[in-house]
Each structure stands twice: as structure tokens, then as C-alpha cells.
Structure 1
Amino acid sequence: MSLTHQFALVPSSSPLPDHLSFEKWSVYAALLNQTGKKKDANAIFDKLEQQLLASYSAGSQEADIRLASLYALQGKANEALSELETAIAQGWVSDFNQNWWYLQDSPYFAPLADNKTFQRIVANYHQSVNEVFETAKQLASQR
């Protein structure tokens, strides 16, 4: 059974049914968007955004990174970049325990791959992570 036969293209319930994760809903919306079903995709994107804003506390790095990915999938580069910078400033770290990709390889941020600001954010992010690792190594060697 195809995904679209399991439920209406855009469920009328709000919040979205939780039988699919945020990640699956956002990818589904991105696929709808890419196949020309922009109205349906935007309805899901809007519901996801509302759920994120309602369920996470203000200043949550998890909410910010998810909002950034949601905006990137919608082609809202400025909003995505702003949320991404906020998440990183609050301490978000790409973690292979959570994701199997690094920030620059994330399928959620693929629409931003050629964006110079995104590339700068990624470079700054990696520099910061490397500085933390170097500091940790120095502290460990002093023991």
C-alpha cells in the first residue's frame, strides 16, 4: 500500500497524527512539494511548524534545528539559515547517535548546499567543534 493510500494527502487533524515521526512527515511534505502538490505540502509544513513552536520551549536547540530543516525543505533559505545559526549558537552538535550524516551532508539541508552563507555556517561550525575536541584532548593529556 502506498503512503498516500494510508491517509489523505493532508490529514485534517491538528496536530498531525503521530504514527509518522517529524522526519517522515517533513520528507513526505518535501516529496509532495517536489511533485507539484505545493498546497498539500505547505499545509503539512505549516502544521509541522505549528507543532514545533507549540511543543518546544523557546530557545530549544532541538526546535531550532528542526525548524531550520523544515524551512530549508520549503526553500525558505533566510529563515533556515537564521534558525540554523541559532541552534548552533545554543550548542547543537551533529551527533552520529542521532543522525548518520554530518551537517553539510544532511538531506534536510541539501537545498542550501550551494548557499555561501550555509557553507560559512558549516565551516564555522566545524572549526568550533574542532576547537572543543582539541581542548578536550589537552585536558585529558594533563591528567
Structure 2
Amino acid sequence: MKRFVIFLSIGMVFVSGFVFAQDATGSGPDENDPALYAVGALGASNLYTTYFLLGTLADGYATAAYTAVFADELARDIIGLNETSIEVLQRMLDETVVNQGDRALVQDMITAHELLIQQTWGLLAYVNDPADT
């Protein structure tokens, strides 16, 4: 069930990433702010890709295709990249770079990154002690 909730959260952010920056009518991307639209699209892509990378890494470790050392290193890289994404997104909120309508989506993206970090720590716990699942 936890996996379903994480997947659903990422899916919602992924879909909404394409409407991240809309004009006042809500009909499409705000042509005056392509950078904000790019943040939404790239953020959604990052979340989606990270989720599947974690699954692939877990499967690779479980089937002995990846060593514990490799799984640990890659998982820690994933955590670091997601923490950096959170910091940048939080800075956007702190510096009021995004308008009020987009703030909730940025916060949702931060939450999705936090969920991926929690899932990655769970994978690391499994790598360090496969009996403790």
C-alpha cells in the first residue's frame, strides 16, 4: 500500500508538472515564464525517473545483479540529489519566485522528493540487513 501511495503521489506531481506555469486563464503554459514551466516539467521527470531507478536498484540488489556496495553508493547518490532538489525548491518558495497559485505544486514536489528519500532509506536498511524488512 505504501508503494501505491508513493507512486500515486509521484504520478500526480508528474501530471501537474506539465501545467505548472499557466497563463491567467489556465489554458496553457505561461509564455512569459518558460523557466517556471521548465522547472515543473524537469521536476516531474526527475521524480518519475527516480522512482523507477529505486525499483530497478532494489530488484537488481535482490537478484544479486548489484552488490551491496554498489546499491549503497547509488542509493546515497539518489538521496543527495533529492535533498538538493528539495533545497532548490524550498529556496523558490522562500524567495517568493513562484506565484501563489503555483506554491502548492512546489510544496507537493518537495513532499514527493521527501517520500522518495524515505523509500531510499528503506532500501538502504534492506541492503544493510536483508533479514530486517
Same fold (TM over 0.5): no
The alignment's TM-score, normalised by the length of structure 2, stands at: 0.37
The higher-RCO structure (CA 8 Å, 6+ apart) is 2
Which structure is higher in helix share?
A: 2
